Amino acid sequence: MTSEDSILASSSNSYDNIHPGLSHHGALAILEQSLDSLDSASDYYMAVAHLVNFPGNKTEEALLRLIETSSSEQAVNLARRKAVEVLGRLGVQRAIPSIGRCLRSNDHYLVENAAWALLQLNCQDVELHQEMCLLLNDPAQSRRVLIQALSGLEVHTALPVLQSLQDEANPGVRGAALAGVAQLSGDSSRLKELEDHLTLPNQMDRQSAIQDLIDCRATYLLPSILKAPVSPVFRLRALRTLWPGQDKSHAGLDLLTCLDSLMLDQPEDLVLAHCYDTDPTTLFLFDEFFGTDFSRCYLALSTLKHRPAEELWPVFWKRWQEDAYNDYGAHYFFIQLLGSVDVWPSAATATIESLLLEAMNSKRPQFSKSKVAACLTLNKHFPDIWCKSVQQFLSSDLIASWELRYAALMGLGSIDIGNNHEIFLLLKNYLSVQDPDPFVDRRRQLLISENRV
């Protein structure tokens, strides 16, 4: 698990309970079995990951035993790394000594997870701080995570070595060092250098730069962060973390305008890190949606949306049936394309409606971005169908996703209420109740101020 993955895992529990049929007792029993008696070598890892759903002494004891085991089997090593992460996520303070011993491991991934977990546990052990500082001298270690841990723990003795790493060739290490120095010294004079990292060719470097700017609270660079060509998940997280309190505007930005833009997520609002030297084929552009670099995906989307819909649809439907329906990265951009084209061939209308309804109602957490895109696209192309489907997404009691509730309110703002009495009543009832999420509630208040009811 990378440091950015760990951060996202710690801030969301969407993927925690992916084995609902596995009980607490069942997970513990798996860890008691010998490796050769398991159904699969990955069962140890699965059991450890599932234990995050069961805080308590039994879980802690099982994870601590696993960490201390001397087995060198790969299945055990993988589970041990996960156990360290889970103990950190569960806030198990008594695990600090055991996790600290993991810093001496030859497994660099275990060292990485140990440093991350010690940060989550707010470890104040000076000796462990010193061990992490010494590890920074080893280029084979995950120095980025070590820097993040030391900076987050406010280990001021690490400042000299962090200063020496501000010119490191590796952008991830350099960026973390720049942010760490700003955190520990208060000197933010070099943080503008991180702004250039937001458009580096490598997507991981761009994502890392956003996390670095979050870590050092660089709120004045929010305008640049929101233009970075990465998944909207990272940009939304930056906005939620860095936006100052109840302010309606900041750093030349209007909050609701930023949120609307993030939900719509159009390539024109981003600074893309790539360009085409020649005019690519339509098939090539669709294939780009299956890549892992969002800058290339946004570039393909920007190009495709200007091509004739009659040319797009046959390729769209073929690639959808082959792969896109089940590839959550491509799925998102296929749905985005449906909303980016104003008029599709009439023969495709029924199919598109079905795709959007299916996407909007998906229960799979990895398709959450597509739910928002599908909600806005259904509102654009099929407003009457959207009106019949949207009510379930407005109640905070029924759905946890604040993004989907926000998108539903965006859609309500575009509906002709005068011709839809059902939506009028829905608005009247919903807008009278404060939403628990402050950003969603801002959107609710805007509808009230516009006299939508």
Note whether 349 and 317 are same-domain residues: yes
pLDDT at 276 over 90: yes
Domain termination site, one of 347, 373, 399: 373
Q: Are residues 369 and 390 in the same domain?
A: no
Looking at the structure, tell me whether residues 398 and 287 fall in a common domain. no
Check residue 400 and give its pLDDT: 66
407 and 318 co-located in one domain = no
449 occurs within a structural domain: yes
Which of the two residues, 18 and 430, has the higher pLDDT score?
Answer: 430
Q: Which residues form the domain of 60?
A: 1-123
Residue-level pLDDT at 4 = 43
341 — pLDDT class (breaks 50, 70, 90)? very high
Per-residue H/E/C for the chain:
CCHHHHHHHHHCCCCCCCCCCCCHHHHHHHHHCCHHHCCCCCHHHHHHHHHHHCCCHHHHHHHHHHHHCCCCCHHHHHHHHHHHHHHHHCCCHHHHHHHHHHHHCCCHHHHHHHHHHHHHCCCCCHHHHHHHHHHCCCCCCCHHHHHHHHHHCCCHHHHHHHHHCCCCCCHHHHHHHHHHHHHHHCCCCCCHHHHHHCCCCCHHHHHHHHHHHHHCCCHHHHHHHCCCCCCHHHHHHHHHHHCCCCCCEECCEEHHHHHHHHHHCCHHHCCCCCCCCCCCCHHHHHHHCCCCCHHHHHHHHHHHCCCCHHHHHHHHHHHHHHCHHHCHHHHHHHHHHHHHCCCCCHHHHHHHHHHHHHHHCCCCHHHHHHHHHHHHHHHHHCHHHHHHHHHHHCCCCCCCCHHHHHHHHHHHHHCCHHHCHHHHHHHHHHCCCCCCCHHHHHHHHHHHHCCCC
Predicted confidence at residue 290, as pLDDT, reads 98
Query: 306-311, long-range: CB within 8 Å, 24+ apart, which pairs?
Result: 307/282, 309/341, 309/343, 309/344, 309/345, 310/345, 311/282
Predicted confidence at residue 396, as pLDDT, reads: 64
pLDDT > 70: percent of the chain: 92
Residue 17: per-residue pLDDT: 52
Note whether 366 and 422 are same-domain residues.
no
Q: Are residues 15 and 112 in the same domain?
A: yes
Regarding whether 434 and 352 lie in a shared domain, the answer is no
Which of 121-130, 255-264, 380-389 has the least mean pLDDT?
A: 380-389
Of 167, 112, 169, the C-alpha closest to 178 is 167
Specify if 163 maps to a domain: no
Stretch among 170-184, 252-266, 369-383, 425-439 having the lowest mean pLDDT: 425-439
Assess whether pLDDT exceeds 70 at residue 11. no
Give tens-digit pLDDT for 45-77: 999 999 999 999 999 999 999 999 988 899 999
> To which residue do tokens 């140990």 refer?
114
pLDDT at 6: 43
Sign of the CA dihedral with 298 first, then 299, 302, and 306 last: negative
The answer, yes or no, to whether residue 100 has pLDDT greater than 80, is yes
Residue 346: inside a domain = yes
Name the pLDDT band for 16 (thresholds 50, 70, 90): low
Whether 5 has a pLDDT exceeding 80, the answer reads no
Q: What per-residue confidence (pLDDT) applies to 233?
A: 95
* Residue 25 and residue 88 in one domain: yes
Q: Is residue 213 part of a domain?
A: no
pLDDT score for 131? 98
**Residue-wise pLDDT tens digits, 189-209:** 999 999 999 999 999 999 999
Q: pLDDT class for 393, splitting at 50, 70, 90?
A: confident
Has residue 224 been placed in a domain?
no
360 and 318 fall within a common domain: yes
Q: Confirm whether 397 is domain-assigned.
A: yes
pLDDT category of residue 7 using cuts at 50, 70 and 90: very low
Kindly indicate the confidence band of residue 413, based on its pLDDT and cuts at 50, 70 and 90. confident
pLDDT value of position 8: 46
What pLDDT shows up at residue 19? Answer: 62
Question: Where residue 182 falls among pLDDT bands split at 50, 70, 90?
Answer: very high
For residues 353-381, average pLDDT:
94
> What is the rounded average pLDDT of the residues 83-89?
98
Same domain, 312 and 408: no
238-268 residue pLDDT tens: 999 999 988 999 999 999 999 999 999 999 9
Domain count, the chain: 3
The band of 419, judged by pLDDT with boundaries at 50, 70 and 90, is: low
Average pLDDT for the chain: 91
Report the percentage of the chain scoring pLDDT > 90. Answer: 80
* 176, part of any domain: no
Task: Inform me whether the pLDDT recorded for 319 exceeds 50.
Answer: yes
pLDDT tens for each residue of 150-168 = 999 999 999 999 999 999 9
Average pLDDT over residues 326-333: 96
Predicted confidence at residue 399, as pLDDT, reads 63
Residue 139 inside a domain? The answer is no
Where a domain ends, among 353, 373, 393?
A: 373
Among 63, 97, 123, residue at a domain's last position: 123
Examine the domain organization and report whether 396 and 357 are in the same domain.
no
pLDDT at 28: 95
Q: Across residues 349-373, what is the average pLDDT? A: 93
Q: What is the mean pLDDT of residues 398-420?
A: 81
Question: Quick check: 21 pLDDT over 80?
Answer: no
> Is residue 387 very low, low, confident or very high in pLDDT (cuts 50, 70, 90)?
confident
**Quick one: 343 and 400 in the same domain?**
no
Residue-level pLDDT at 10:
44
